[in-house]
Structure 1
Amino acid sequence: MAALGGTHRGGPGHPAVVREGDATHLRRRPTVPPGPGEISVAPLVAGVCGTDLQILRGLRDDGAPVLGHEGVARIVDVGPGVADPRLVPGAHVVVNPTHPTDPSFLLGHNVDGMLQARMLVPASAVGGGLVLPLDEVPQGNLAVLIEPLAVVRYAALALREHRPDTLLVVGDGTVGHLAVRTARRWLGPAVRTVHVHHTDQGLEWSAHTPHRADRPIGLADLAAGEPAGMLGRGRVAVLIATPAPATLPGLELALRATEGADVAVDLVGGLRGPALSPFFPGVDLARTRAANCGGEPRPPVVERLTTADGRQVSVLGHRGVANEHLVYAAAELCRDPESFRDLVTHETDLAGAAEILTALGRSERRTVAGRRLVKLAVRTAVPS
């Protein structure tokens, strides 16, 4: 993987990648000491997520000037009143980006995120137990995969109850690839995988990885009924891991392809309400997805919905994950790094990230330095 861009030095405060209009720029931000119940951390490496690109492209109205909700950080300073004795300067932590009960904390969405050299974690998140110490940190830049792997872990535990014969993954971003790679260890050793790609470029990338699905196909292949022999019978688990505008179309395509099977669907891809589909008359699927937030409730809410033609389909979704999913994902990346290492296709620093994000925000393509982007890791620490 390539290192891109240069290093920013000098000036008071700390460097951050800041959104300004349809671009991002490297700017100095005030470094604020933590107040009561707060923690100041130094992000070490942060990932760029598909939702970050949606924000940059104007598809979401999240207001945080600084993006980034994936990665690992080191505690720099602790404000008065922080009770957890593990949260001390020097400790490595992952921050759960989604508060299960406080909508005012959504890291990198309505609270400044990790694409900066210092980050203040508010008291609501600290007191809510969302700052999680790590006994072991994944190698190199693999920490950017902790949060997306936790999302897949959450989905797998829910879909495992369906006892699927086949996993159909719609979407060829990071979450889609992680779902394929963990299917047999988390859903069962006999599960078959079908991975639907949105572009020929994505299919080409998958063709050269040793960890591809049993059947990597394109959207047109799925629409044409391939591979009907795997999808039209038995128990099929469907993971919709697409950008928000593609979630409903991806769901509808998957439902057509799995006619005749016993189907359970996890809507990982975002939805803006009301999200209505002719397959489920009168059902707001955005509300279905939002029924599970930050790992709550337990077990997750799974709705049994009836399609317009009388089929019964189990449907759930989730915003965020529970703390244990993040801790498990971090440990999994430490146990088996080689199963995931190639997904981090690009690496840069904060200055390089500002340039790359501007370019990605102005284009629908996911190409950086002439190569397919799956996951971008941003080294956020200020060099000594």
Structure 2
Amino acid sequence: MFSGDRISLTGSKSHLALVRPPGMGAPRLEQVRTSEALPGDFVCRTLIAGVCGTDLQILRGVRDDPARILGHEGVAVVEEVAAKADQRWLGATIAVNPTPDWGAAELGHTLDGMMQQRFLVPARLRSLVVSSPAELAADLAILAEPLASVLTCGGILKRVAEPIRVLVVGRGTIGQLLRIALKTACASVRDVVVTGTKETAGVEHRAFDTVILCSSRQDVAAALIIGLDALCDGGTLHLFGGLPPEGRDPRLPGVNLSEIRARNTGGRVGWPLTEQCQTTVGHKRVAITGHRGSSNAMLTRAMLELSARPNTYRPLLTIVTDPKEAVRTLRDAVGHPPVRSWTKLGIDLRKW
């Protein structure tokens, strides 16, 4: 459909979305108005959207991100543009890097995200649009953003030291991707042990030269206890998972953990790369680093990695289902008590 310079492949005025209630709670399926592209904007049709730990934290009220519709992981097709120069993008399969190097994440956080049939990429975020390789299966694409972040983590650790024995605290998607891909991202790594915050019995004290924290925000205190106990003197602590805005811990005096993590955002590496600290318990010397998100180039690398080794990563896709079943699954996951038996949930919108 043509309207001035606007070209749409569908002309749809409304579409289905997983809309979350104010405050906390599972989303509901609702019809919402489809945005129209202004010059520089894209309107995209979601193929599959992924649910990540951050989304669950928002639904549980742990985070106060205002977007009504979540979702920053997945793959989509550009269906509407409003500038002649953008016509070449029509029909292209794309992903959107949710973490810009200039500030906070917007898509699925402050801006309605991909858990809907169509979503808007505003002109100011166009630089975060990345073409998806033709050979990448749509279901695997929901792992691209977290895998890109894992590869970024490996690149940072290589610059800090040469990790050999690594403990990962957090058993979610990130933890499982670190188990699979960290040795690829950082060749010095010989051993990767993954544990949850409630599984401390088998973790050796002072046995790891590197600890990566990728637990949820509400579990960060427990994760720090496990990680600092397991870290050897002179080891590296990498902050991967969510932290509260003023992330501080009495065992790491004078250190703002959130600030250290934010130095390396969207693939941009800040300085200094590490913060040196001595713990108040055990008096260990610790080099602290971290990161948020990845660059567009790393997102592309992750998509190529998924394309090359699909059978290695596909077992992480515990559930890929339609929006109705996804709503039921999310209702269980954010209920009281929460019931979650899956690692990665994908919402398949291709037949809707």
**TM-score (ref. length: structure 1):** 0.82
User: C-alpha distance in 2, partners of 1:257/1:164?
Assistant: 14
Q: Measure, in 1, the Cα distance between the counterparts of 2:20 and 2:308.
A: 36
Q: Distance in 1 between matches of 2:135 and 2:271?
A: 29
Take 1:97 and 1:316, find their aligned partners in 2: how far apart are those partners? 21
Identity %: 34
Alignment pair present for 1:288 and 2:260? yes
**Inter-partner Cα distance in structure 2 for 1:295 and 1:138:** 22
Query: CA offset at residue 363 of structure 1?
Result: 3.9
CA shift at 1:197, angstroms?
2.5
Supply the AA of the counterpart residue of 1:267: L
**RMSD across aligned positions (CA):** 2.1
Q: Describe the superposition over 1:337-359 as per-residue Cα deviations: whole angstroms up to 9, x where unpaired.
A: 11111100111112222222222
Change beyond 3 A, Cα 1:265–1:136: farther
Aligned partners of 2:182 and 2:189 also within 8 Å: no
Which of the residues 217, 221, 224 maps onto 2:202? Answer: 221
Work out the CA distance in 1 between the residues paired with 2:291 and 2:337. 26
**Aligned partner of 2:344: which letter?**
K
Per-residue CA shift, 1:105-140, capped at 9, x if unaligned?
5211111011000010011101xx100112334225
Alignment partner of 1:345 is 2:318: yes
Of the three residues 28, 32, 47, the one matched with 1:29 is: 32
Partner of 2:102: 101
Which residue in 2 is equivalent to 1:273? 245
1:44-102 CA deviation, whole Å, 9 max, x = no partner? 0111001111001110000000011111111111222766x8x5111111100112224
- 1:41 counterpart residue number: 44
Aligned mate of 2:228, from 239, 251, 255: 255
What is the alpha-carbon distance in structure 1 between the residues aligned to residue 298 and residue 99 of structure 2? Answer: 12
* Distance in 2 of aligned mates of 1:138 and 1:354: 26
**Number of corresponding residues:** 337
Distance (Å, rounded) in 2 between the aligned partners of 1:150 and 1:219: 28
| Larger relative contact order (CA 8 Å, sep ≥ 6) | 1
Aligned positions of 1:190-269 closer than 5 A = 191-198=190-197, 218-222=199-203, 227-228=204-205, 231-232=206-207, 236-260=209-233, 262-269=234-241
Q: Could you give the per-residue CA deviations for residues 289-344 of structure 1, whole angstroms, max 9, x where no partner exists? A: 12222111368832222323543212112222111111010000000111111100
Q: For the structure 1 residues 238 and 69, does the alpha-carbon distance in structure 2 shift closer, same or farther, using more than 3 Å as the test?
A: same
Which letter maps to 2:342?
L
Q: Which residue of 2 aligns with 1:158?
A: 156
The code of the aligned residue for 1:14 comes to: H
Q: Tell me the SS of whatever aligns to 1:340.
A: helix
Q: Distance in 1 between matches of 2:276 and 2:318?
A: 39
- Report the Cα offset of residue 156 of structure 1: 0.9
Structure-2 separation of matches of 1:165 and 1:190: 4
Partner of 1:134: 132
DSSP 3-state at the match of 1:182: helix
8 Å contact kept, 2:263–2:270:
no
- Equivalence for 1:170: 169
Normalising by structure 2, what TM-score? 0.89
1:329 is paired with a residue of what secondary structure? helix
Alignment check: 8 A CA contact 1:38 1:121 kept? yes
What is the aligned partner in structure 2 of residue 65 from structure 1? 68
Q: Secondary structure at the match of 2:151?
A: helix
Cα pair 1:92 1:137 within 8 Å, conserved? no
- Relative distance call for 1:190 and 1:113 in structure 2 (3 A) is closer
State the SS of the aligned residue for 1:65: coil
Distance (Å, rounded) in 1 between the aligned partners of 2:250 and 2:197: 23
Moved more, 251-260 or 337-346: 251-260
Residues 165-224 of structure 1, C-alpha deviations (whole Å, 9 max, x = no match): 10111010000000011132222266112111246xxxxxxxxxxxxxxxxxx22333xx
Q: Could you tell me which amino acid in structure 1 is paired with residue 139 of structure 2?
A: N
Structure 1 position 76 matched with structure 2 position 79: yes
Aligned 8 A contact 2:47 2:138 in 1: no
Q: What amino acid does structure 1 have at the position aligned with 2:48?
A: V
Change (3 A) 1:297 1:355: same
Gap runs ≥5 in structure 2: 1-11
Residue 94 of structure 1 aligns to a residue in which SS?
strand
- SS of 2:100's partner is coil
